[in-house]
């Protein structure tokens, strides 16, 4: 046995009904190292960590866990915590109405003679917050903190329990670049003080910069370990997806783009944060059949709000919508869907699918709701279609009857896309369609977007990833300060050109 090992997980196997989530996976964690766990959605990363953190108790999986040379039977999250294993989940768990200090010491409040010693409590909180360079008061109410701060408070909560290992499951998806960097600085400091860290992230660039080792998982299996100084990003990605990526983006040239399908005239949209202001002052644009139009702008420029307002998901102050030359009034999303507009947002859980349904039901949701009432649906034909798209989109699940909640993010996004393929949609709005999705699933989603455009669907796309936007769109409308700052054709567009316009120069 290697004496540097803090934790060894040996031959871990875990199954869910119909799915092998982990197949004989072995990893080890050294004392004072940052180990990154990477892999496509559904590779088994979270499940492996939930075993370590006691969410799945000893006995519900095969294999063994050894910590500092001693076999551990982790029976609960409380047991793991006592053993020095702390996990920060992707979904932040906090008590929104309690103070920062209360959140940090929840369950282990420092007491003196049976009473909670608030002074000591606050001081201790201040200390750990300072250590994390969190600029918030221990008395602040959690609700008033932004996501990044809340995440750091979760880390503070873990740290006051003196963990030997800190597990972070995709902590960076909700954080800005600056916040992510701050978090990584913190992990580096923790490493110096001897705390080991297991870090799960899709942000490969940062992973490569920070990790001592990178472990790749694919399809429930361990694939390979890369060591600091020898991390070849191309190889890691290939290991993740299991086959060579010829190209991330499909060629979009040679498609037919024809007549105008959608025209937006003089849209004005109220600022979501302040009734006195407008986020969109005056924006007009057109969209053609089979076209992919990129709506570009800085974060906060109102791209999403503009699309939401057109879609009837939020009100607009003024402006006109013409579909195929005729003016339409769209007061709500039901009307928008009836008129052939679809909207796929980054918030899949909120807007995209219904938790309690399976894949098939989700795919046919829009059809059932909006068409079935009026028309007779041939169930056999529909079954065939659902199965066709299930296969075509390579949705990773045992069957179309699998509950959607059990799928990975990328596969959920595919189901939502299949929904648009199954309806007679004419116009599709895509708002950050690949956020939080791994490389392999991204490439597949780009192929689907291409297929949709080829079939004559007209698409408006918002994305903060410039390479994605530049590769997928035929034309760009750039929004700055509430107005159209300019328009670029594919051949004239570049990241610099768009940024120049977007920053209002």
Ligand X SMILES: Nc1ncnc2c1ncn2[C@@H]1O[C@H](COP(=O)(O)OP(=O)(O)O)[C@@H](O)[C@H]1O
Nearer to ligand X, 41 or 53 (CB): 41
> Which listed range, 176-184, 190-198, 375-383, 403-411, lies at the site for ligand X (CB under 6 A)?
403-411
Residues in the chain: 505
| Mask for 4-23, x = binds ligand X (CB under 6 A) | ------------x--x-x--
Q: How far is the CB of 53 from Mg ion (least distance, A)?
A: 13
Nearer to Mg ion, 46 or 148 (CB): 46
Nearer to Mg ion, 439 or 470 (CB): 439
- Widest Cα–Cα separation across the chain: 78
DSSP strand E in 39-190: where? 62-67, 70-72, 85-88, 111-112, 115-116, 165-169
Q: State yes or no: residue 242 binds ligand X (CB under 6 A).
A: no
User: Encoding tokens for residue 242?
Assistant: 């299991």
Q: State yes or no: residue 201 binds ligand X (CB under 6 A).
A: no
Nearer to ligand X, 167 or 501 (CB): 167
- Give the one residue of 14, 33, 46, 175 binding Mg ion; rule: CB under 5 A: 46
Is 346:298 a contact under the CB 8 Å cutoff? no
Q: How far is the CB of 439 from Mg ion (least distance, A)?
A: 15
Beta carbons within 10 angstroms of residue 366's beta carbon: 18
Q: State yes or no: residue 47 binds Mg ion (CB under 5 A).
A: no
Nearer to Mg ion, 46 or 180 (CB): 46
Residues 469-498 that bind ligand X (CB under 6 A): none
> What are the two backbone dihedrals, phi and then psi, of residue 499, each rounded to the nearest 5 degrees?
-60, -40
> What are the two backbone dihedrals, phi and then psi, of residue 64, each rounded to the nearest 5 degrees?
-140, 160
Q: How far is the CB of 169 from Mg ion (least distance, A)?
A: 6
Nearer to ligand X, 52 or 295 (CB): 52
Nearer to Mg ion, 46 or 201 (CB): 46
- Give the one residue of 42, 163, 433, 436 binding ligand X; rule: CB under 6 A: 42
Q: How far is the CB of 74 from ligand X (least distance, A)?
A: 17
Q: How far is the CB of 17 from ligand X (least distance, A)?
A: 7
39 binds, among Mg ion, ligand X, none (CB under 5 to 8 A by kind): ligand X
Residue with tokens 């102050």: 317
Is 10:49 a contact under the CB 8 Å cutoff? no
> Which listed range, 203-211, 348-356, 358-366, 404-412, lies at the site for ligand X (CB under 6 A)?
404-412
Residues 6+ apart with CB under 8 A from 277: 270, 271
| Mask for 347-386, x = binds ligand X (CB under 6 A) | ----------------------------------------
Nearer to ligand X, 312 or 410 (CB): 410
d(CA 64, CA 11): 7
**C-alpha distances in angstroms, 28 versus 66, 227, 468?**
9, 13, 36
Q: State yes or no: residue 406 binds ligand X (CB under 6 A).
A: yes
DSSP letter (8 states) at residue 153: H
d(CA 172, CA 42): 18
Q: State yes or no: residue 236 binds ligand X (CB under 6 A).
A: no
Q: State yes or no: residue 257 binds ligand X (CB under 6 A).
A: no
Please give the torsion angle defined by the CA atoms of residues 490, 493, 498 and 501, in that order, rounded to the nearest 10 degrees: -100
Q: State yes or no: residue 45 binds ligand X (CB under 6 A).
A: yes
Task: Give the sheet arrangement for strand 221-227, strand by strand.
Answer: 85-88, 165-169, 196-200, 34-38, 213-218, 221-227
* Angle made by CA atoms 493, 494, 498, in degrees to the nearest 5: 80
> Which listed range, 190-198, 289-297, 362-370, 400-408, lies at the site for ligand X (CB under 6 A)?
400-408
Q: How far is the CB of 144 from ligand X (least distance, A)?
A: 31
Q: State yes or no: residue 39 binds ligand X (CB under 6 A).
A: yes
Strand 5-16 versus strand 62-67 pairing type:
antiparallel
d(CA 312, CA 251): 33
Nearer to ligand X, 440 or 482 (CB): 440
Q: State yes or no: residue 440 binds ligand X (CB under 6 A).
A: no
Q: State yes or no: residue 46 binds ligand X (CB under 6 A).
A: yes
Is 321:264 a contact under the CB 8 Å cutoff? yes
290 binds, among Mg ion, ligand X, none (CB under 5 to 8 A by kind): none
Instruction: Using CB atoms within 10 Å of the CB of residue 259, give its burial: 0 to 12 exposed, 13 to 18 middle, 19+ buried.
Output: exposed
Nearer to Mg ion, 38 or 293 (CB): 38
End-to-end Cα distance, the chain:
61
Q: State yes or no: residue 434 binds Mg ion (CB under 5 A).
A: no
123, HSE (Cβ side, Cα atoms, 13 Å): 6
Is 139:100 a contact under the CB 8 Å cutoff? yes
Chain residues binding ligand X by CB under 6 A are 16, 19, 21, 39, 41-47, 406-408
Chain residues binding Mg ion by CB under 5 A are 46
């Amino acid at each position: 046995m290697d004496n540097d090992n803090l934790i060894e997980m040996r031959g871990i196997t875990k199954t869910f009904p119909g799915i092998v989530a982990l197949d004989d996976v072995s990893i080890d964690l050294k004392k004072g190292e940052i180990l990154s766990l990477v892999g496509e959605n559904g590779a088994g990363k979270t499940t492996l960590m939930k075993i370590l953190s006691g969410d799945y108790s000893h006995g519900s999986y095969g294999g063994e866990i050894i910590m500092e040379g001693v076999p551990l039977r982790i029976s609960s999250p409380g047991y793991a915590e006592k053993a020095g294993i702390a996990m920060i989940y992707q979904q932040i768990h906090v008590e929104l109405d309690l103070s920062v200090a209360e959140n940090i010491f929840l369950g282990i409040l420092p007491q003196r003679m049976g009473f909670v010693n608030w002074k000591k409590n606050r001081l201790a909180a201040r200390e750990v917050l300072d250590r994390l360079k969190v600029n918030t008061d221990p008395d602040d109410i959690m609700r008033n903190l932004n996501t990044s701060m809340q995440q750091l408070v979760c880390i503070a909560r873990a740290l006051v329990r003196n963990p030997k290992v800190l597990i972070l499951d995709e902590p960076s998806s909700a954080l800005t670049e600056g916040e992510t960097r701050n978090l990584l600085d913190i992990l580096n400091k923790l490493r110096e003080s001897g705390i080991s860290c297991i870090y799960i992230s899709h942000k490969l660039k940062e992973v490569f910069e920070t990790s001592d080792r990178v472990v790749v998982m694919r399809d429930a299996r361990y694939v390979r370990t890369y060591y600091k100084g020898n991390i070849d990003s191309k190889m890691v990605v290939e290991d993740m997806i299991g086959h060579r990526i010829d190209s991330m983006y499909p060629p979009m040239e040679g498609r037919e783009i024809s007549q105008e399908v959608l025209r937006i005239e003089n849209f004005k949209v109220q600022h979501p944060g302040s009734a006195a202001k407008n986020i969109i002052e005056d924006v007009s644009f057109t969209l053609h059949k089979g076209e992919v139009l990129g709506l570009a702008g800085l974060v906060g420029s109102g791209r999403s709000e503009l699309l939401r307002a057109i879609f009837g998901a939020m009100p607009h102050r003024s402006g006109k919508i013409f579909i195929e030359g005729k003016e339409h009034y769209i007061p709500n999303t039901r009307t928008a869907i009836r008129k052939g507009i679809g909207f796929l947002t980054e918030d899949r859980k909120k807007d995209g699918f219904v938790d309690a349904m399976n894949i098939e039901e989700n795919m046919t949701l829009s059809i059932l709701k909006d068409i079935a009432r009026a028309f007779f649906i041939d169930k056999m034909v529909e079954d065939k279609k659902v199965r066709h798209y299930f296969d075509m989109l390579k949705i990773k699940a045992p069957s179309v009857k699998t509950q959607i909640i059990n799928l990975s993010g990328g596969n959920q996004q595919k189901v939502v896309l299949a929904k648009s393929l199954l309806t007679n949609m004419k116009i599709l709005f895509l708002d950050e369609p690949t956020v939080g999705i791994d490389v392999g699933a991204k490439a597949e989603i780009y192929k689907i977007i291409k297929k949709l455009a080829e079939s004559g669907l007209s698409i408006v796309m918002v994305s903060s990833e410039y390479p994605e936007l530049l590769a997928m769109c035929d034309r760009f409308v750039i929004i700055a300060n509430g107005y159209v700052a300019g328009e670029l054709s594919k051949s004239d567009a570049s990241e610099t050109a768009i940024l120049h316009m977007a920053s209002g120069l």
